[in-house]
Amino acid sequence: MYAIRERRHREVVVLTDPQDSEYRTRPVHKPGETLPESIGAHVEWDTDALLRT
């Protein structure tokens, strides 16, 4: 799993499910959203805080 901060677009992109050098799942999360457990682990990230730093 990789999380990418896109400050310009104010979003967090989460890459999961790697296969053949690509990631099949690429959900986008806006400020205030939490990341779902479908990423393979229970992770609570404050997307607002990620985008501020």
Q: What is the pLDDT along the chain (53 residues), one digit of tens a residue?
A: 888 988 899 898 988 888 999 999 888 988 888 776 666 666 777 778 878 86
At position 23, the amino acid (one-letter code) is: Y
Q: What per-residue confidence (pLDDT) applies to 20?
A: 93
pTM: 0.69
Residue 2 parent element (H or E): strand 2-6
Query: How is residue 9 written in tokens?
Result: 């677009």
User: 41: phi > 0 → left, psi -120 to 50 → alpha, else beta; which?
Assistant: beta
Q: What per-residue confidence (pLDDT) applies to 22?
A: 92
36 three-state secondary structure: coil
Contact 18, 27 (CB under 8 A): no
